Amino acid sequence: MSYPKFIIDKKKLKNNAMNALKMCNNLGIEAVGVVKAVNGLDKVIEILIEAGFKTLASSRLSQLKKIKEINPNILTYDLRIPMLSEVDELVSCADISLNSSLEVLKELNRVASEQNKVHGVIIMTECGDLREGIFDEEELLNTVCTIEKELKNLHLLGIGTNLGCYGSIMPTPEKMMELISKADKVSEAIGRRIEVVSGGASTSLPLVAKETMPKGITQLRIGDALYISDLDDCFDYKVFSDDDEAFTLQAEIIELKDKPSHPIGTIAVDAFGNKKEYEDKGIRRRALLAVGRQDLGDCLHLRPLDPNVEVIGGSSDHTILDITESEHCYKIGDIVSFHVMYENLLMLSQSEYVEKEYI
């Protein structure tokens, strides 16, 4: 056995993906499956296709190429605004891309013409999160009109927005109505109804689940809601139960000691430059695991399956647990299991030091 190990339950993943897809389909919303968070793992791509996804997305072109190799009939969707240096490669492997700049769009049109293709584009517009997207309405209308009238090797599919990734702005019915209003203006400006109004990512899914998503949103780009159960507490929504989690991290205990809970000496910063505060709880039973931030990102996002175990910190190679309250008598060599959050999923999926096992 090799640890740390990332276990992926294929049946649970397929069921969770099918449920999300059905939830969107019931409201006439296209669900685009995002594979970036799982590093475009081959078997995960295959499971999403089996679940019924017709369009898969990533911000990494190598993952879009892999999708086409697995199934050339699946539409591929580039999530990140294209770099000018990658437009040739992008048009060759992506059917659709998100865009916000005419300079890039003109290059995409040129390359699509050279490759004898028509490339689908969705223009990103700002609704307040302030990551990518056109903020000025006049610029938005000028951009879509230029595509429609002049860039013959691009097909303007519609517009989209991003919420919650940078500015922490919640997707709300009001924000969706703001996007729909912009979509109506775009449709009027180009003289036809646009096909796609892309209302964000997994953080918009609670609006679908609670049936508060305004009519007029036609697409969501769903990634982490396919893989992990908890959307942030502020969204007040659990995608599926803990028992249906498809991804589990297993890590081995390499040290068990009773130690003070407060470091001793002059406190500076940790290995990552963070100045931290520590609560003094006296002597506690601690377990040291052979997995760390190089493998999984922030260890404090791990969710132990043993409810009486607390993750208290870690470093690049180690995760530290407080096991004082646990009813289980842990020993060196024991395996501790965790469910994960988004950052952990992202890092564990791509770490070459973490074995992947499908069950």
Helix (H) / strand (E) element for 123: namely strand 119-124
Contact 58, 75 (CB under 8 A): no
Confidence at residue 271, expressed as pLDDT on a 0 to 100 scale? 77
Contacts of 337 (CB under 8 A, 6+ apart): 248, 249, 250, 304, 305, 306
Element (H, E) at 22: helix 10-25
141: closest CA among 185, 175, 198?
185
DSSP, collapsed to helix, strand or coil, labels residue 2 as coil
Confidence class for position 115, pLDDT limits 50, 70, 90: very high
Q: Given CA atoms 300, 248, 287, 306 in this order, what sign does their dihedral have?
A: positive
Domain 10-243 listed as CATH 3.40.50.300: no
Residue 36 falls in the annotated catalytic set? yes
245-282 tens-digit pLDDT: 999 999 999 999 999 988 888 888 887 888 888 888 99
Do the Cβ atoms of 194 and 157 come closer than 8 Å? yes
Terminal Cα distance for the chain, rounded: 15
For the domain 245-358, what is the CATH code?
2.40.37
Cβ contacts of 344 within 8 Å, gap of 6 or more: 249, 296, 297, 298, 301, 302, 338
Distance between CA atoms of 45 and 217, rounded to whole angstroms?
Answer: 25
User: In the numeric block, which tokens belong to residue 176?
Assistant: 């969706």
How is the chain split into domains, by residue range?
10-243, 245-358
Task: Give residues with Cβ within 8 angstroms of 176, minimum separation 6.
Answer: 199, 204, 207, 213, 214, 216, 217
Q: Is the pLDDT of residue 236 over 80?
A: no
Residue 233 predicted with pLDDT over 60: no
pLDDT for 94: 98
What is d(CA 212, CA 217) in angstroms, rounded to the nearest whole number? 11
- Asked if residue 263 has a cis previous peptide bond (ω within 30° of 0), the answer is no
- Let me know if the fold of 10-243 is the same as that of 245-358: no
Q: Within a 10 A sphere around the Cβ of 322, how many other Cβ atoms? A: 19
User: For 271, phi and psi rounded to 5 degrees?
Assistant: -65, -20
- 126-180: pLDDT as tens digits: 999 999 999 999 999 999 999 999 999 999 999 999 998 888 899 999 999 999 9
**Distance between alpha carbon 153 and the CA centroid of its chain, in Å?**
30
- Which of the residues 36, 66, 175, 182 is marked catalytic? 36
Compute the chain's Rg from CA coordinates. 23
| Cα gap 227→340, rounded to integer Å | 9
Q: pLDDT by residue (tens digit) across 294-346?
A: 999 999 999 999 999 999 999 999 999 999 999 999 999 999 999 999 999 99
DSSP SS3 for 120 = strand
Rounded-to-integer distance, Cα 242 and Cα 305, Å: 9
Q: How many helices (H) and strands (E) does the chain have?
A: 11, 16
